[in-house]
Structure 1
């Protein structure tokens, strides 16, 4: 077996500050999702059944990003979720935001004393995907939404290998981008499906997941409009342990972006991001955007029920390679078609994350960290970030020094935990 070298992940590196005249508030974080689709915000919510349905996708696009509706549902239901996003009335929100702040109902805020009553009386009774204009917080600004040429919110949807029926139905429903989702994007059936879609449908296609230059070249040559990078970095993914396969995310992004950017095909860094600083590291390495799962799983907008354990509220989060997710339809993503649980070989786990409240607050902190990083680096745009950013590899002691240390009973803050 050939050793092709050492690989790094986010915690192994730090970005080096540059001389700067740039203030965080002045940076431009607009980017491209695909060759043809732009984003106002370089963040995508993952196509996972505990992350993105219409509520999440609506809010992501209002904030300037995009959500990818997962495929662990019937074609009819997935189309329904897409249509809910497209039907959302942006003008109503704009009008409300121009007026004085008003009371809003059915909104749970993690900071309120009445949270427990709200959970008991409202959230637990709510059916999935029942977001409406009146439930968007009126004191928030959505003046830079991600919209299509018809002024409707943008939304993406995931499909599996050989799922042309689903792809055609989604295109007919008006989806903006299709994500061809596989644990191993550099494989024959993925490439065949990609070519089939590009030759028969007028739609941008993001393909993943991959970690090598060779994979990027093959997918670009097969028509990919965007490429997802990451095998095994997710908090709920066990692929690297179960299969012994993958690549630490910093090296994977660096490898893939080096090739993809020459072809003008955007890279999406998918997985392994724990902090806002990791987002800037991923973008500095050449990614055009990041896909988030765990960081968004605790939001009000994720499609799982709130659960109270002791005095703390939680939401469920699971990998698409977990037993439960594969039973619901994601098995083919991991090349598994058996229905009997005892015959499944999971590459993911199920768990719970703390409830964090509205997505707005989560994204605000993540974008704030990104803007701060770009200010330190003297970069006004993501293009400048690619050109100017430098990183250093740090030791285990350096990692320890980077985190909070020497304290007891640390007061919890929204953008940091150990």
Structure 2
């Protein structure tokens, strides 16, 4: 049911996960028969967990450990890991800084340019530990470093931003990233996101995404909705994007995890 916001402006009620519950069906299942594994781009995960591509969450060691457990840790290739040969002293500085000095320190630390040779090195360090080299870039970063990532032996590439679309308008003289072309030319699976609507999810799948990331601002540490005023409550976002996934499977015969 549409809700009237004002003249000519309607909305609909959307829901977060804390507002809903699963309704038990008429059949029960023994836990031994349950399969919670996940497959993305031909890569099977026994544990359906993707650790976020954040400097405070995943480093080389964590990525290797999660791989060993059957999950996936995604390494941020535009963070501290690829700006500093040894990021540990930098992380120690962040952990020890006073709140009043935090912003200035972060601006200082992230002003150092990304070093392409460290992109290659981090991927190879994960592979040397028999880990799954799942790495993340922004759309701008993918334009610059996508080939380096593939040549270094990465297993899967995540292209992430607060919002990603296949129709991006850029200033004159700047050619936006062609997601269709990138997904078809890279020799590794590409995960695209984030999105929160049926139409956006469907277009990302049609672009060749191996999986689609859903959500803007649902995380406990995320401030996107509060700062930008952009987002959709997560339960509704997942429902809409899963509908796009189902329709795309009927259209193409290809199942795309979300």
Query: What is the TM-score normalised by the length of structure 1?
Result: 0.46
1:32–1:266 Cα contact (<8 Å) kept:
no
Partner residue in 1 for 2:139: 161
Partner residue in 1 for 2:203: 218
Q: 1:262 deviation in Å?
A: 3.3
2:150–2:188 Cα contact (<8 Å) kept:
yes
**Which shifted more, 72-81 or 4-13?**
72-81
Distance 2:9 2:156 in 1: 38
Matched, 1:84 2:84: no
SS in structure 1 at match of 2:62: helix
Q: 1:80 deviation in Å?
A: 2.0
Q: Aligned pair in 2 of structure 1 residues 245, 44: CA closer, same or farther (>3 Å)?
A: same
Distance 1:20 1:39 in 2: 27
Matched, 1:244 2:229: yes
Matched, 1:175 2:154: yes
Correspondence list, 1:222-237, <5 A = 222-237=207-222
Q: Aligned pair in 2 of structure 1 residues 220, 242: CA closer, same or farther (>3 Å)?
A: same
Matched, 1:27 2:34: yes
Q: 1:189 deviation in Å?
A: 6.5
2:161–2:194 Cα contact (<8 Å) kept:
yes
Q: 1:3 deviation in Å?
A: 2.5
Distance 2:257 2:157 in 1: 15
Partner residue in 2 for 1:254: 239
SS in structure 2 at match of 1:223: coil
2:205–2:256 Cα contact (<8 Å) kept:
no
Partner residue in 2 for 1:9: 16
Matched, 1:53 2:59: yes
Which structure 1 residue ranges, 5 or more long, are not aligned?
89-151, 269-418
Paired positions, count: 204
Aligned match of 2:72 in 66, 69, 84?
A: 66
SS in structure 2 at match of 1:220: helix
2:62–2:73 Cα contact (<8 Å) kept:
yes
Distance 2:238 2:50 in 1: 16
- Higher RCO, Cα 8 Å, sep 6+: 1
Q: 1:85 deviation in Å?
A: 1.7
SS in structure 1 at match of 2:158: strand
Distance 1:20 1:62 in 2: 34
Distance 2:169 2:136 in 1: 16
Distance 1:68 1:80 in 2: 15
2:210–2:257 Cα contact (<8 Å) kept:
no
Q: 1:28 deviation in Å?
A: 1.6
Q: Can you list the C-alpha shifts for 1:292-318, whole angstroms capped at 9, x where unaligned?
A: xxxxxxxxxxxxxxxxxxxxxxxxxxx
1:227–1:265 Cα contact (<8 Å) kept:
no
Query: What is the TM-score normalised by the length of structure 2?
Result: 0.72
Q: Aligned pair in 2 of structure 1 residues 262, 60: CA closer, same or farther (>3 Å)?
A: farther
Q: Aligned pair in 2 of structure 1 residues 51, 18: CA closer, same or farther (>3 Å)?
A: same
Partner residue in 2 for 1:341: none
Q: Can you list the C-alpha shifts for 1:77-124, whole angstroms capped at 9, x where unaligned?
A: 232222122111xxxxxxxxxxxxxxxxxxxxxxxxxxxxxxxxxxxx
State the 4+ residue runs in structure 1 displaced beyond 4 angstroms: none
Which structure 2 residue ranges, 5 or more long, are not aligned?
1-7, 83-113, 171-175, 249-253
